[in-house]
Structure 1
Amino acid sequence: MIPRVRAPELAQNYSWLNTDKPLSLKQLKGRVIILDFWTYCCINCLHILPNLKYLEQKYKDSLTIIGVHSAKFDNEKEIENIRQAILRYDIEHAVVVDRGFQIWQEYAVRAWPTLIIIDPEGYVIGQISGEGNRDTLDELIQKLIQQHHEKGTINFQEFSLILEKQRQPLITPLAFPGKVLATQAGLFIADSGHHRLIMSNFDGEILHLLGNAKSGLTDGSFSEAQFFAPQGMAFDAENQILYVADTENHALRRVDLKRQVVETIAGTGEQSRNIRPHGGAALETALNSPWDLVKVGHTLFIAMAGPHQIWEMDLETSIIKTYAGTGAEACIDGSLAESAFAQPSGISTDGQELYIADSEVSSIRSIGIVEPYQVRTVCGSGSLFGFGDVDGQGEDVRLQHCLGVEYVQNYLWVADTYNHKIKLVSPSGNCQTVLGDGTSGLQNGKGKNSRFFEPSGLSASASFLYIADTNNHAIRRVDLNTLEVTTLQFPGLCAPDVCIPPNL
């Protein structure tokens, strides 16, 4: 008989979020417990959050989920940054901050995400790593409830918590804007936390609200349509069409500004589990967290963060397929077929090459879209754990989870997200900090006398650079001639359900 292993008690003296007091396994005896070992940069960790929410709502009288945040990046160790991630992803279970991987080591965890299942008597009965295990977990929980109900060792009662969103409601006009796009027609903002897009002029006057600010996958008029945490965008000025990476819907959407309608053009609404290179008819092909877009001719190139690949969609034939990346999470240069990426989250182009913010290897990559179609690393270590904040040349450069890149006049502007900085990179790989002093905050000023908080989207138009300053819930504007940073104001814009939106 295999000996049963009692679950190690959770540290009470660590920081806890989404609860007014630490939770102990002893106090939770009689309930099924799932420990979710996660780190908020990790796309796989984000993918299982909807499954956990489904389970905790289905079994609210008998299941408690506790997130154990074991940080990969230095920036993810900060309590306030974890709190912002909890708000951004609407996490509704308690989270303990696992200082120095102590809880991780006690439970012999080896990868993100890992789920540890503890029975109502306090014994570890299994662990599951990776994503896509909802049905397995559902069956296991049902079985545990039935067994312990028969033994009389289960305690059915609802369990309530004081959540961060109750303490800090998202009532800002913008909520965690992920990307911004400056075009001749105006400024488009992915108001990701409010599940909508905003179109304004460059003075902040609202022209259109796209989406009804409720998460969902619904086509129709601007007021009927629904998005789910949209991110990157691309604009077809000739036809007045905006293309949108509807990230958590695993879909691509088309916004027709002339007809004022939103249509789904790729994806099934379900997350793809296939990480091997493949493709097919766009509306029949499941996608996996499309994060950013760029349009070249009749082709949309897509930073597909979930399978660590770059995809392409032919807008004339509506065929979508992998363009580069094997699906392995790594930094491998060479041919399109041999190359590998690690959660690519930003994309831009000079017409000859695509430039990629490859976030999990904290590197800027380049991909040829004309012969010889090669992939190279422009700057950064190319290692999953080779991150930091070091300016310099090529592989000596250290970035920290960069999410945005914008090509402007033979240079790349880079949102070095977890360093709270904007850097300038030459195509030959020289990288220099230009904006931000490295401390998180909201501060206007010139050059390095400015502050940002996890900026993740960039777009340039005329002599201005626009920044989606995600955790500041703000759009910042930089005069590229003077490097003066200001914060855009949007008079009349408000959070959904807080005020009556402008009459558009």
Structure 2
Amino acid sequence: MEVATRYARQVAVIGVHSPKFSAERDPANLAAALERHDVAYPVVADPDLTLWNQYAIRAWPTLVAVDARGRVVARHEGEIALPDLLESLRPLRGPDGFVAGDAPEDASGDEPALANTLRYPAGILADAARDLLVIADTGHHRLVVASLDGQIRFTLGDGVPGLVDGTGDRVRFRWPRGMAMLPDGRLAVADTGNHALRLIDLGAHTTETVAGTGEQARHRMSGPGAARETPMASPWAVAWFAGELWVAAAGTHQLLALDLEKGTLRPAAGSGAEGLHDGPLAEAAFAQPSGLAVAGGRLYVAEAESSAIRQVDPATGRVRRLVGRGLFDWGDRDGVGDTVRLQHPLGLAADPDDARPILSIADTYNGRIKRLESETRTVARVFGGGDREQGEMGDEDGVGTAARLRSPAALAVAGDRVFVTDTDNGVVRVGDLATGRMNVLRLEP
């Protein structure tokens, strides 16, 4: 995005959307994704992978540099930091290199958001004991703090993307997502777009940065370091586990752990290779870990790119697969163990009862909420998607699977209620596990 805006006089950026998952072939889902990420440059839909094959693409994402004569002069597979990207475009540069123009102001926060209006909410926390609901209003770069019945108490963040600590609405976030409550009552937030972790005192309405530099990590994390001096890549979710704040670092396919007392950040699990490989913590491979939940003394991980649910057991020091078969095995199938298929799950939440760990899954690209009994590896759909074999997206309240959601990205459980960010519909929905009814939560200022 920055290349498209800052170097527009010399570089034309054109996106090509070659879908991996079946849900990504839907034009409505593609349009929502482009708006959600504020993509301003043109994007070509390539549903049949025609351009993918013509350019011999092998991985998502891949950057291809084409000169004025139509010749491919450079390519890069995987995520890349801006300095490395500019270096890879060296063959296209003139004698003076790339000359940056005046960067336009980020307009995503120009129009102030109404207190009860959400834009692509992608994180949520529910605490029954505190009668507390916190919504990551991701597209508005802010947090909405409310009661469980939707009465808004206050907001944090002024709606303009940035990395600013402080008080109340004078602080700034950039695409905040996952959250976790710490034992001392502070709220931890994965500030995904800033590649940082923030801590919030909900009583004083103060926000501070405790990990990350604000810059995207260019390599996987290989050893411990000072948290405020160590870059991360797209922290997506957080969870308090085994006395530390664990982080799903989606960009480097790792789990990190933050020691708040010492101010140190360390790699806790994952080699940094993308894959679905069980084993000892340091040797296991993850594929875009995106959701975290704690139950029964174990950590559970939702992985988007492998459509899998994993278990981290500190007693054995190993990672174990519960659901999912590989990077290209997905679908919409209930069942037990290896027969189960999900499609790009982003959210995970645990029931309060640790004695019988049951997890709720935001099966994002199937538009469903499912339940997983971790001991038996049994998965069953409970809300959304309709009665057909393949889930259908939409925007509708209803009972059980008669409800319709569009790309639900996060959820939280409080008692018999499941709070869901119905992300592309811009609302929060509440599913009652006792009655099976799901309705939109009306936020009231």
What TM-score, normalized to structure 1? 0.79
**Aligned counterpart, 2:219:** 274
Question: Contact 1:325–1:340 at 8 Å: present in 2 too?
Answer: yes
Greater Cα shift, 309-318 or 222-231: 309-318
How do 1:39-50 residues align onto structure 2 when only pairs under 5 Å count?
A: none
Q: 284, 304, 322: which one pairs with 1:359?
A: 304
Question: Structure 1, residues 361-399: CA drift from partner, whole Å, max 9, x if none?
Answer: 101100013x11221111122x00000111111111110
Contact 2:253 2:288 in 1 (8 A): yes
Alpha-carbon deviation of 1:411? Answer: 1.0
Residue in 2 that maps onto 1:476: 429
Does the C-alpha gap of structure 1 residues 142 and 364 become closer, same or farther in structure 2, counting only changes over 3 Å?
A: closer
Equivalent position SS for 1:455: coil
Q: Distance in 1 between matches of 2:442 and 2:32?
A: 22
* Counterpart AA for 2:252: P
Alpha-carbon distance change, 141 to 377 in structure 1, aligned in 2, over 3 angstroms: closer
Superposition deviation, residue 281 in structure 1: 1.7
The equivalent residue for 2:100 is none
Letter in 2 for 1:247: T
Secondary structure at 1:471 match in 2? helix
2:328 to 372, 375, 385: 385
* Matched residue, 1:121: 69
Residue 352 (structure 2) pairs with residue 406 (structure 1): no
> Could you tell me how far 1:143 is from its partner in structure 2?
6.3
Q: Measure the CA separation in 2 of the matches of 1:219 and 1:93.
A: 31
2:150 alignment counterpart? 204
Structure 2 counterparts to residues 219-234 of structure 1, below 5 A: 219-234=165-180
User: What letter is aligned with 2:320?
Assistant: R
**2:133 alignment counterpart:** 187
Residues 255 and 74 of structure 1, relative CA distance in 2, 3 Å threshold: same
Amino acid at match of 1:239: D
Which residue of 292, 314, 317 corresponds with 1:347?
292
Amino acid of the residue matched to residue 36 of structure 2? R
| Aligned-pair CA distance for 1:276 | 4.4
2:382 aligned with 1:446: no
Moved more, 354-363 or 122-131: 122-131
Alignment check: 8 A CA contact 2:181 2:187 kept: yes
Which one of 218, 226, 231 corresponds to residue 286 of structure 1?
A: 231
1:456-482 CA-partner distances (Å, limit 9, x unpaired)? 111111221100111111111111211
Instruction: Indicate the larger mover: 415-424 or 171-180.
Output: 171-180
Distance apart, 1:341 and its partner CA: 0.8
Tell me: CA distance 1:425–1:60, structure 2 relative to 1, closer, same or farther (3 Å).
Answer: same
**What SS does the corresponding residue of 2:424 show, helix, strand or coil?**
helix
Is 1:458 aligned to 2:401, yes or no? no
User: Could you tell me how far apart the structure 1 residues matched to 2:441 and 2:57 are?
Assistant: 44
1:180 touches 1:187 (CA, 8 Å); kept in 2? yes
Cα deviation digits, residues 220-239 of structure 1 (max 9, x gap): 01121100000000113x63
Could you say what secondary structure the match of 2:23 adopts? helix
SS in 2 for 1:146: coil
User: By how many angstroms is 1:133 displaced?
Assistant: 5.4
- What is the Cα deviation at residue 302 of structure 1? 1.3
CA separation of 1:62 and 1:273: change in aligned 2, threshold 3 A = closer
Q: 1:97-148 deviations in whole A, cap 9, x for unaligned?
A: 1131111111222222222222223333332323325335536768646379
- DSSP-derived class of the 1:283 partner: helix
The corresponding residue for 2:362 is 415
Aligned to 1:244: 189
Q: How much has 1:298 moved relative to structure 2?
A: 3.4
Contact 2:144-2:156 at 8 Å conserved across structures: yes
**Which secondary structure does the structure 1 equivalent of 2:49 belong to?**
helix
CA contact (8 A) 2:113 2:159 kept: no
- Does the 8 Å contact 2:141/2:159 carry over to 1? yes
Residues 99 and 296 (structure 1), Cα distance of their counterparts in 2 relative to 1, 3 Å cut: closer
| Distance in 2 (alpha carbons) for counterparts of 1:386 and 1:472 | 27
AA aligned to 1:249 is N
| Contact 1:240–1:258, Cα closer than 8 Å, also in 2 | no
* Aligned with residue 485 of structure 1, among 421, 438, 441: 438
What amino acid is the match of 1:388? G
Q: How many angstroms apart in 1 are the aligned matches of 2:5 and 2:86?
A: 12
How far 1:406 moved relative to its partner? 1.1
SS at match of 2:2: helix
- Structure 1 residue runs without a partner (length 5+): 1-52, 150-164, 493-504
Q: CA deviation at 1:441?
A: 0.8
**Which stretch shifts more, 221-230 or 277-286?**
277-286
Distance 1:421 1:117, change over 3 A: same
The residue that corresponds to 1:89 in the other structure is 37
Q: 1:119 to 1:189 in 2, by over 3 A?
A: same
Aligned partner of 1:65 in structure 2 is: 13
2:30 match: secondary structure: helix
C-alpha distance in structure 2 between counterparts of 1:196 and 1:421, whole Å: 26
Whether the aligned pair in 2 keeps the contact of 1:312 and 1:322 (CA below 8 Å) is yes
Distance 2:273 2:93 in 1: 38
1:74 aligned to which of 4, 22, 29:
22
Question: Is residue 81–residue 218 contact of structure 2 (8 Å, CA) maintained in 1?
Answer: no
What is the Cα deviation at residue 303 of structure 1?
1.3
1:215 and 2:161 equivalent? Answer: yes
Which shifted more, 239-248 or 109-118? 109-118
Rounded to whole Å, the distance in 2 between the matches of 1:212 and 1:106 is: 45
Work out the CA distance in 2 between the residues paired with 1:94 and 1:76. 17
Check conservation: 2:195, 2:235, Cα contact below 8 A: yes
> Which residue of 2 is the match for residue 261 of structure 1?
206
Measured at CA, do residues 55 and 397 of structure 1 come closer, stay the same or move farther in structure 2, by a change above 3 Å?
Answer: same
In the alignment, is the contact (CA less than 8 A) between 1:178 and 1:231 conserved in 2?
Answer: yes
Residue in structure 2 matching 1:298, options 240, 243, 251: 243
Tell whether 2:32 aligns with 1:112: no
Q: Distance in 2 between matches of 1:401 and 1:139?
A: 33
- Look up the SS of the partner of 2:136 in the other structure: strand
Structure 2: which amino acid aligns with 1:179? G
Number of aligned residues: 419
The RMSD of aligned alpha carbons is 2.2
Give, in whole Å, the separation in 2 of the partners of 1:133 and 1:372: 36
Distance 1:468 1:122 in 2: 43
Quick one: which amino acid aligns to residue 339 of structure 1?
A
Please tell me whether residue 175 in structure 1 is matched to residue 175 in structure 2: no
Q: Distance in 2 between matches of 1:426 and 1:305?
A: 25
Q: Which amino acid aligns with 2:426?
A: H
Q: Is the CA contact 2:74–2:89 (under 8 Å) kept in the aligned structure 1?
A: no
